[in-house]
Amino acid sequence: NSSDTTELKKIPGIGSYYARRIVDYRTRLGGYVSKEQLLEIDDFPAKAIAYINIDSENIKKININKSSLAQIKRHPYINYYQASAIVNFRRLHGMIKSISELRLMKEFSPEDLKRIEPYVTY
């Protein structure tokens, strides 16, 4: 989560193209929580994962109580309908206090919640 493109290019199978894609996707996510997230990058060379370690200490989180619809939906794991459901829930019920409140929304599957949990704060 702290490597720049120059460091990433030292990994076997990672050239300039994938180094930029890794950094760009990391920025959009707020940081990587697991190596497997790298496979979400189109055509990522799976063999390179063996050489990567993830430090998930400094994940940038989205405060879903203070962020706008546009800011929330910018996250790769949250689509427009989910972001809209969050904003509407806040408007109708007040501040969201935990991930369990998102479970009440039909827009979120259990898998969705598991993916976004490390990236949201209240």
- Considering the domain architecture, whether residues 76 and 29 belong to the same structural domain is answered as no
Q: Could you tell me if residue 56 is inside a domain?
A: no
Q: Tell me the C-alpha to C-alpha distance, in Å, between residue 61 and each of 55, 66, 71.
A: 15, 12, 11
How many residues does the structure list for the chain?
A: 122
Are 73 and 117 within one domain? yes
State the amino acid at position 29 in one-letter form.
L
Q: State pLDDT tens for residues 34-52.
A: 999 999 999 999 999 999 9
57 in a domain, yes or no?
no
Query: What is the span of the domain harbouring residue 70?
Result: 62-121
Instruction: Tell whether 42 and 74 lie within a shared domain.
Output: no
Q: For the chain, which ranges sit under pLDDT 70? A: none
pLDDT for res 31: 96
70/37 same-domain check: no
Q: Are residues 56 and 31 in contact, defined by beta-carbon separation less than 8 angstroms?
A: yes
